[in-house]
Amino acid sequence: MKSALVHVNPGVLRRLAACSLFAGGALLVPAVQAQTPKPATAPAACPALLQHRFDRLQDEKPQSLCQYSGQVVLVVNTASFCGFTSQYEGLEALYAKYKSQGLVVLGFPANDFGRQEPGNNQAIADFCENTFGVKFPMFSKTSVVGRETNPLYKQLAQTTGETPQWNFHKYLIGRDGQTVRSYPSTLDPKDPKFVGDIERFLSTKS
């Protein structure tokens, strides 16, 4: 039996050869390798204690505290007309000295004690900058005790079992966002033992 000859247009052959392989009369189509998608980079975990947003003091723009994840965070309720107001100087000195190592100081102005923070946000911001040259982050006027306590201070009180008794109470939060120590208003930010605690917190990896 004679084999039938099939005439194939040369142009068709050229197009097939460009995208196919012939072997033993069989048409082989190159396999397409499936590419495994690269996994998305997971964002750094934000501890529950920092999952809050507060307005910045200077311009009232919302800020997430998650931006401080992995840092040592010193939280202080402040007031402009308090016997401890001069502690702003020591707090700023701590921030300037240790911020490159991961310390951030967060100030929360409050009028809860002795009505010693009566001004509005702009007045507070001007006072802090002009009187003490404060550069550490400050947030809008808030409440740190009572029924209007902001959610961060509620968690800090639950974690430590201590609530602020006056202006300039201090909470020191470790890099893990879970280790928290509480310090009274009377503690000077320059106190050697307090500075030692900060340095120990800074030396601990998150």
Residues with catalytic annotation? 82
Q: Look at residue 135 and give its three-state secondary structure.
A: coil
Q: Which helix (H) or strand (E) holds 54?
A: strand 53-55
**Number of Cβ within a 10 Å radius of residue 19:** 8
Cα 180-176-150 angle, rounded to 5 deg? 50
For residue 58, the 8-state DSSP code is: T
Beta strands in the chain (DSSP E): 21-23, 26-28, 53-55, 62-64, 72-78, 103-109, 170-173, 180-183
Bridge partner list, 54: 63
